[in-house]
Structure 1
Amino acid sequence: MNELKAQLDWQQDSQGRLELRVAGHWTLNTRKPELHSVFDSLRLPDKELPVRVTVAAWDSSLLALLRRLQRLAGERALELRWLELPDGVERLLQLGSAHPIQPGASSAPGGPLTRLGLLAIGLFASLVKAATFLGETCLALLNLARGKARMRAGDFWLALQQCGPGALPIVALIASLVGLILAFVGAAQLEAFGAQLYIANMVAIGMTREMGALMTAVIMAGRTGAAYAAELGSMQANEEIDALKTFGFPPLEFLVLPRLLALLVAMPLLCAFADALGILGGFVIGAGLFDISATQYLNQSLELLNLTDFLLGIFKSLVFAVLIGLIGCHYGLASGRNAQAVGQATTRAVVSIIVALVVSDALITLICTQLGI
């Protein structure tokens, strides 16, 4: 049986000019000649090096040879001219010759004014995308109200189970600890005036108007908002959303509406649950450190607390639910198509949600204060 060989030698063309010939089988399991010894065996009379590639079989070994030949010709200031390259080899050589991005190299050209302009353009593009997403979501909600939205009830119940009962343990833990902290910090100040009984008032008002809704929203931002961004970002990377569009399923109605509606249902219930456990946590401090009975604590809580305070917290939870759902889904749908982009989208979603929660809470509180609510 003849042994397969790889050939690399000099030959003359029909006009008597020297050219380097690559022939035979250039595969991993064949013996190959040494490039430097063949290359240095002759000296070319001009600065052009014709290379004729007529191989019977090839794999990455041929590409490695041609890339080494390119580097060697560059060192000798020779211009390569390829002859009879196999199909696909020229394209692979172009990809291999592409200059990689140097670590630490800046991709932003120009000075500070140019970078400021690019930043403004990027910010404007982000605002356009966000406004488009918000408008399309409003249209999807309108279709839902008219009974024409393509949303599956099963998706809604699954999303509700994940962001509702699934979040109860962590919400219960955080709300109880927040109530304990509020009571303990307030008791340290009220004790100086002998007014420890007013711990109940402070905890009740603080939990129902502010901390119950805000802490629940922060928990849901890290738990549910991040999950929405990661789920939709993974679907974007796997081209599942493109497949939905191809089959005529609107992604906003099919993917966003169930998640948004589930949050709108779950957040007020979780907020009321957090309010109750926060007040219970304050009672633990009041009863354990200051001997306040359950009857005294309950009566004192209800004396100052009214329905307006409770409904204000519920209203905030609804606003927070909309922010969590919209921002999480927006960053998920706007994600790139690789694993790194999905991680970046999830991180941006959580950061943006928390900033939006704090800003919206401050605005609502300011408006309510000005209106005397």
Structure 2
Amino acid sequence: MTISETIDNPPDLIRLTDDTLHLRLAGDWLAGSLPLTLREVEDALSGKTPGSIRFETKDLQTWDSGLLTFLIALKKLCDAREIAFDDGNLPDGARRLLALASAVPEQQAGKGSSRAPLLERVADRALAAWKSVVDMLDFLGEVTLACGRLLTGRARFRRSDLWAIMRECGADALPIVSLISALVGLIFAFVGAVQLSMFGAEIYVASLVAIAVVRVMGAIMTGIIMAGRTGAAFAARIGTMQVNEEIDALATLGISPIDFLVLPRIIALVVMMPLLCLYADLMGILGGLAVGVFMLDLNLGEYLEMTKLAVGLKDFWIGLFHSAVFGVLVALSGCLRGLQCGRSASAVGDAATSAVVTGIVNIIVATAVITVICNILGI
């Protein structure tokens, strides 16, 4: 036996037959003037639970987001009451939009995502670390091949870019290197004077400042300055090119991004870092001299003579070797992070930050390794 019931309000739009609720979508369904509301459908379902809802759309004329909003709310109502939602008679556009809206879950405001288990987090960190190591080794391999092409005259980069980068890494960095190096020498002299004055040996402040600055501290401070100044600039510039798809364009033209972008920066820093290190050594010694002569009342000639006796040629070579290694590490860190940059503006900032951190960590680790090697070799 067939049960047919027509709801009077609104007329002829809602009809219940057997186990199916029929909704007739007629006329214009526009936002702000819908012929039917969800509340009226709920009233029609009061005390009744049909098995499905179907639509009659032969009289439907124009519709916009108002119809879609109504259908989304109605589908949620059907899901809550376990009523089958039959959208077969809906317009194709409305059906596709409804499927798209149902495919993307709503974000629950005020509710944080559940934290992953400890083992899962550890595994994710381990996989990320392994991927980072693989990417770094792959990058080092490409740089090695690029250096081979450079030695054979097949590397492709603009000489004008090399000179411009050398100027940026060298002459443009002199003011900040001067300031930091002089202050470091001044601080060493102050610290040494506090201890040596207890034994009446203030004159050895000159030896302390000279050997510390020339052998390692001048190179370390120069490397840290260049990591924060030049390494970040390399990462930001190459990262911006990655965002603008300029690196993809180079690869499309058959030009190796390693040759064109990375190689000139490595050459520039390897050449300029030893020169900056020598300049930093001089400024550090002058900073210590200012403290010794003007605050400890040491004789200028005696201070310079003690500095000469304390520093040997091997100390200069060790400092220059430190600086050359630091130049390679800073250039590699900045270029690697720039090439790994994502495709957004925030990714450029992240790449610059990561380049600075990576460069400084590499400098400290390299200093420890070189110091141990020098100790083993007795130099």
TM-score of Structure 1 vs Structure 2, range by shorter chain: 0.7 to 0.9
Q: Pairwise CA RMSD of aligned residues?
A: 3.0
Are positions 1:92 and 2:100 aligned together?
Answer: yes
| Per-residue CA distance 1:230-257 (angstroms, 9 max, x = gap) | 2222332333322222222211111111
The residue aligned with 1:359 is 365
Are positions 1:75 and 2:80 aligned together?
Answer: yes
The residue aligned with 1:36 is 38
For residue 166 of structure 1, the aligned residue among 164, 168, 172 is 172
Alpha-carbon distance in 1 for matches of 2:244, 2:24: 45
Shift of 1:227: 2.0
Matches within 5 A, 1:280-295: 280-295=286-301
The residue aligned with 1:50 is 54
Are positions 1:19 and 2:22 aligned together?
Answer: yes
Shift in CA distance, 27/133, structure 1 to aligned 2, threshold 3 Å: farther
Matches within 5 A, 1:122-271: 122-271=128-277
Alpha-carbon distance in 1 for matches of 2:256, 2:272: 24
- AA paired with 1:97? P
Of the structure 1 ranges 188-197 and 332-341, higher mean CA displacement relative to structure 2 is found in 332-341
The residue aligned with 1:105 is 114
The residue aligned with 2:3 is none
Are positions 1:330 and 2:333 aligned together?
Answer: no
- AA paired with 2:52? E
Alpha-carbon distance in 2 for matches of 1:9, 1:133: 71
- AA paired with 2:76? R
Shift in CA distance, 216/66, structure 1 to aligned 2, threshold 3 Å: farther
Q: Percent identity?
A: 44
Alpha-carbon distance in 2 for matches of 1:359, 1:57: 70
Of the structure 1 ranges 246-255 and 44-53, higher mean CA displacement relative to structure 2 is found in 44-53
Shift of 1:51: 4.4
- AA paired with 1:77? E
- AA paired with 2:37? L
Shift in CA distance, 172/57, structure 1 to aligned 2, threshold 3 Å: farther
Of the structure 1 ranges 154-163 and 338-347, higher mean CA displacement relative to structure 2 is found in 338-347
Alpha-carbon distance in 1 for matches of 2:290, 2:222: 21
Alpha-carbon distance in 2 for matches of 1:241, 1:8: 65
Shift of 1:348: 2.6
Shift in CA distance, 36/27, structure 1 to aligned 2, threshold 3 Å: closer
Q: Secondary structure at the match of 1:254?
A: helix
- AA paired with 1:20? L
- AA paired with 1:36? L
Q: Secondary structure at the match of 1:243?
A: helix
Are positions 1:319 and 2:325 aligned together?
Answer: yes
Return 5+ residue gaps in structure 2 as ranges: 1-9
Alpha-carbon distance in 1 for matches of 2:61, 2:262: 56
TM-score, with normalisation over the residues of structure 2? 0.85
Alpha-carbon distance in 1 for matches of 2:358, 2:197: 40
Shift of 1:45: 5.7
The residue aligned with 1:4 is none
Alpha-carbon distance in 2 for matches of 1:141, 1:105: 48
Contact 1:8 1:23 in 2 (8 A): no
Shift of 1:26: 5.6
Of the structure 1 ranges 78-87 and 270-279, higher mean CA displacement relative to structure 2 is found in 78-87
For residue 278 of structure 2, the aligned residue among 267, 272, 275 is 272
Aligned residues: 363
Shift in CA distance, 372/22, structure 1 to aligned 2, threshold 3 Å: farther
Shift in CA distance, 317/97, structure 1 to aligned 2, threshold 3 Å: same
The residue aligned with 1:3 is none
Shift of 1:59: 5.3
The residue aligned with 1:10 is 13
Shift of 1:291: 1.7
Alpha-carbon distance in 2 for matches of 1:52, 1:150: 68
| Per-residue CA distance 1:313-336 (angstroms, 9 max, x = gap) | 111011011111112211221222
- AA paired with 1:253? D
Contact 1:221 1:353 in 2 (8 A): yes
Of the structure 1 ranges 76-85 and 263-272, higher mean CA displacement relative to structure 2 is found in 76-85
Shift in CA distance, 180/97, structure 1 to aligned 2, threshold 3 Å: same
- AA paired with 1:85? D
Alpha-carbon distance in 2 for matches of 1:171, 1:364: 23
Alpha-carbon distance in 1 for matches of 2:93, 2:38: 23
Return 5+ residue gaps in structure 1 as ranges: 1-6
The residue aligned with 2:303 is 297
Alpha-carbon distance in 1 for matches of 2:57, 2:307: 90
| Per-residue CA distance 1:138-185 (angstroms, 9 max, x = gap) | 101111121111211222222222222222211111111100000000
